[in-house]
Amino acid sequence: MGELFQVRTVRDARELLRKHITATLPVEQVPLLEALGRRLARDLSAMDAVPGFDRSTMDGFAVRARDTFGATESLPAYLNVTGEVLMGRNTTAAGKLNAGQAWRIPTGGMLPSGADAVVMVEYTEELDERTIGVTRPVAPGDHIVRAGEDIAPGDGVLSRGHVLRPQDLGLLAAVGLSGVPVFEPVRVGIISTGDELVETLEQPGPGQVRDINSYALYGQAAAAGARPRIYGIVRDDFASLLDKLRQALVECDLVLLSGGSSVGIRDVAARALDTLGAPGVLFHGISIKPGKPTVGAVVDGKPVFGLPGHPVSAMVVFDLLVTPLLRYGDYPDDPLEFPVRARMTRNMRSAAGREDYLRVRLYRENGIIFADPVLGKSGLISTMVRASGLARIPAEKEGVEAGEYIEVKLF
């Protein structure tokens, strides 16, 4: 086992885990309407063009653009109305639009042969049922979408590993896919350790506390698209913990162990993790606050995390090390991991060489987003409830000043 508290940076911890995680998730085919939030198991390509024909984006008249050049309100271009496009009908067999002609066309209608633009109805005046005056010229391509302009046949539309969003479902429907291959959700086992813990419905006695972490971590795992399972409370006993970890590793793809990762006589978590299988414990300690006494291990290709017992610390580490694995299956470089820039409302100190993660409440005033620190110790779950997200103080800084901008990760 590695030396206790030979701390790693978050980046180093992620790289170590990435090198050793080899377990793969099964793949299943699911209906498109059940695929939201799921991760694609292979690249997807389009078989057909989208749209499949030249179509109008406006109500108006299909025309040859050159027939409208120079048109003004005082001197309209006069065109003969010789046809009408009906929704859902193929215009190919209806003939060709010739010079000096116009066809009525609705939004989404198929452009007739010979037309290369659409004049909006607002810029026409009808002299009679068969003649219009165009009061504003159009250029070729105005107010139309060409066949394949959105998606061409053979185009790669979504890549393996992509997490499906509502707009992605629309795209997949457009290319005719009613089902998609996705990875099965990660099965996450959650174990809480500590002689002081009692179940939620129990009344804690002196020196006892209710199990918070199982529920908070369950919520985080579910929000990241996983299938969490709570394995209950295990006392600070090596044999009991080892048995529970073995069970969870057989039944799950990733295991979370909270508590038992601090230095002390009851520190059995790291020792248990290091006896389960290769490579075992990769690091014990990361250079962050809160969350320093974190254990990272891989057992037979499956990641196992020994999280701090304090709820805030456990949740912060989950966000940094576990959420990316559950959502993306990896640790991608994500420029939007801390997407909000906010102005700090007060000075906050930090130790050089350590990343600090501050709970902050965001609010907007005069168009500026402010980050107000939510102060409190890492055992106080209410501080997470009052916060909007986590602000990061980089390791190379020794704090931030009031008025300085800081990056924030939203809850």
CATH of the domain at 121: 2.170.190.11
268 and 324 in a single domain? The answer is yes
Percent of the chain, pLDDT > 70?
A: 97
Which tokens is 56 given? 């109008």
40 and 169 in a single domain? The answer is yes
Least confident range from 131-145, 251-265, 328-342, 347-361: namely 251-265
* pLDDT at residue 291 greater than cutoff 80: yes
3-state secondary structure of 357: strand
Confidence of residue 273 (pLDDT cuts 50, 70, 90): confident
CATH of the domain at 162: 3.90.105.10
The amino acid present at 109, given as its one-letter code, is: G
192 and 233 in a single domain? The answer is yes
What is the separation of C-alpha 245 from the centre of its chain, rounded to a whole number of angstroms? Answer: 30
Domain membership flag for residue 367: yes
CATH of the domain at 403: 2.40.340.10
Per DSSP (E only), the strands in 314-377 are 340-344, 348-349, 355-365, 368-373
236 and 103 in a single domain? The answer is no
Give the per-residue pLDDT at 352. Answer: 85
Element (H, E) at 171: helix 166-174
Average pLDDT, rounded, for the chain? 93
Number of domains in the chain: 4
Which tokens is 111 given? 């452009």
Least confident range from 60-69, 257-266, 304-313, 383-392: namely 257-266
* pLDDT at residue 325 greater than cutoff 60: yes
Report DSSP state, residue 175.
T
* pLDDT at residue 269 greater than cutoff 90: no
* pLDDT at residue 107 greater than cutoff 60: yes
273 and 177 in a single domain? The answer is no
Q: Range of 154's domain? A: 27-50+149-183
Choose the final residue of a domain: 269, 296, 328: 328
Q: What is the mean predicted confidence (pLDDT) over 90-115? A: 94
254 and 312 in a single domain? The answer is yes
Confidence of residue 267 (pLDDT cuts 50, 70, 90): low
| List of long-range contacts for 153-160, beta carbons under 8 Å, 24+ apart | 153/46, 153/47, 153/48, 153/49, 154/45, 154/46, 155/45, 155/46, 156/43, 156/44, 156/45, 157/44, 157/45, 157/46, 158/40, 158/43, 158/44, 159/40, 159/43, 159/44, 160/40, 160/41, 160/42, 160/43
364 and 221 in a single domain? The answer is no
Q: What is the mean predicted confidence (pLDDT) over 160-181? A: 96
Domain membership flag for residue 4: no
381: CB partners within 8 A, 6+ apart: 212, 216, 311, 312
Confidence of residue 92 (pLDDT cuts 50, 70, 90): confident
Give the per-residue pLDDT at 3. Answer: 45
* pLDDT at residue 262 greater than cutoff 70: no
Give the per-residue pLDDT at 35. Answer: 98
Q: What is the mean predicted confidence (pLDDT) over 16-24? A: 95
Give the per-residue pLDDT at 260. Answer: 58
Percent of the chain, pLDDT > 90?
A: 87
* pLDDT at residue 328 greater than cutoff 70: yes
* pLDDT at residue 354 greater than cutoff 70: yes
203 and 296 in a single domain? The answer is yes
What percent of the chain is helix, strand and coil (3-state, nearest 5)?
20, 35, 45
Going by C-alpha positions, the residue among 270, 400, 273 that lies closest to residue 342 is: 400
Q: What is the mean predicted confidence (pLDDT) over 228-254? A: 94
Buried b / exposed e over 260-278, threshold 16 CB at 10 Å, is bbbeeebbbbbebbbebbe
Q: What is the mean predicted confidence (pLDDT) over 290-314? A: 94
Give the per-residue pLDDT at 5. Answer: 53
Q: What is the mean predicted confidence (pLDDT) over 378-389? A: 94
Residue listed under structure tokens 């009613």: 178
